[in-house]
Amino acid sequence: MHPNPAFRTTQADRTLAFVRDRSFGTLAVNGVEGPMLAHVPFLMSDCGTFAELHLVRSNPITRALAAPLAAVIAVTGPDSYISPDWYSLDHQVPTWNYVSAHLRGTLTLLPQTALRDLLDRQSASFEARLLPKTPWLTDKMPADAMDQMMRQIVPVRLDITRIDSTWKLSQNKPDSARLGAAEGVRQAGFGSETDSIAALMTELPPTDTKG
């Protein structure tokens, strides 16, 4: 997370909404030979205290889960290069704006009996975003093919103890400079989802007054 507190005051419910909207991140745990990573879709609980996901049984993280592990899921959002020329201010330097959240907690294997329900809820959540398309259901899979696939994956839960987020949107600059940079982002398109990051820079997310 960025150390500048100006980028870390976005309201918690806005961060949770961002995390649920993305529903995809990089899972990381410490391994004997160094960090181990997996790129995973997940379901965030309604209460925001845990995330559910599945891993391939042969994944090194799965093999390391003989006991619960400290873990983090890094969720990344839109980002863009920021040219100092866009601020119309003197003595500025290049930077990169972005949105990200880190879900920290304890990763645990769930009973294999929990897998089918998890898969059904995951597919239902993601298929709902495709309406009015008729949702895909696991029942469309032949039973033997579904059983074979399920033997290759395991259900996992991250019990979340802390959520940190960075919304680096040029909040540390005067409004005119921030809006000028947002317009530069819109025109240049140098980054990922630059329309989204430019929109966030233009209309800043609500901040937590306690921060």
- Element containing residue 149 per DSSP (H, E): helix 143-150
The phi and psi torsions of 133 (rounded to 5 degrees) equal -55, 140
In the block, which residue shows the tokens 């790129």?
39
Output the pLDDT for position 209: 65
Do 142 and 89 touch, CB atoms closer than 8 A?
Answer: no
d(CA 209, CA 211): 5
Q: How far lies 172's CA from each of 4, 47, 113, 128, in Å?
A: 9, 32, 50, 38
Pick the CATH number of 5-198 from 2.60.40.1930, 2.30.110.10, 1.20.120.530, 1.10.150.20: 2.30.110.10
Do 205 and 104 touch, CB atoms closer than 8 A?
Answer: no
Q: What is the pTM of this model?
A: 0.93
* pLDDT one-digit tens code per residue, 66-87: 999 999 999 999 999 999 999 9
The phi and psi torsions of 187 (rounded to 5 degrees) equal -80, -35
d(CA 124, CA 118): 10
Domain boundaries, the chain: 5-198
* pLDDT one-digit tens code per residue, 166-204: 999 999 999 999 999 999 999 999 999 999 999 999 999
The answer, yes or no, to whether residue 211 has pLDDT greater than 60, is no
